[in-house]
Amino acid sequence: MDKDEQREFDAYIRGENWGAVPDSFTDVEGAGLQIKLTEDADIPVLKLRGKVDLHTTHLLNRTFRTLARSGRYQVIVDCQDLEQLDVAGLGVMVEAVRHLRIRHGGIYLAQPNQFVRNSLRMTRLNKVLPIADTIEAAKIMARTA
């Protein structure tokens, strides 16, 4: 890593340029993860399919950063087709929540399977990442937050 890359990385870690991602997108795919963005009224819904792990967290991180840069601070994550969510994936979500809350936003998980629910409960992250049984319920949570 050269000096410029190190400075950029350090600024990102400190949260100084968290939203500084120029890309826009509708679909992201790679390394076993598909992310589909749909806009429903004023709240974006990210449908995750596959695995969120060490090899795919960069895709999810970039997606959250792009949404924040475009001013969308309330995000619903549809977990219905999520096969795996490991510690690295949870870390990306927690970091995104931290930045979105500064902007009065948040992440709301919709339709998680039992594995994802258990992972969130065991790590007590269900208190940081609210869970809803349906996308509609997650939208209500987001609008009333």
Q: Kindly list the structural domains of the chain, giving each domain's residue range(s) and its CATH number in brackets, ordered by start.
A: 3-144 (3.30.750.24)
Q: Residue 26 has what pLDDT? A: 45
Q: Are strands 27-30 and 33-40 parallel, antiparallel or unpaired?
A: antiparallel
Q: Residue 21 has what pLDDT? A: 38
Q: Residue 19 has what pLDDT? A: 43
**Nearest alpha carbon to residue 68 among 46, 100, 91, 36:** 100
Q: Residue 145 has what pLDDT? A: 79
> Which stretches of the chain score pLDDT less than 70?
1-2, 4-30, 40
Find residue 47's DSSP bridge partners. Answer: 36, 78
Name the average pLDDT for the chain: 83
Q: Residue 38 has what pLDDT? A: 87
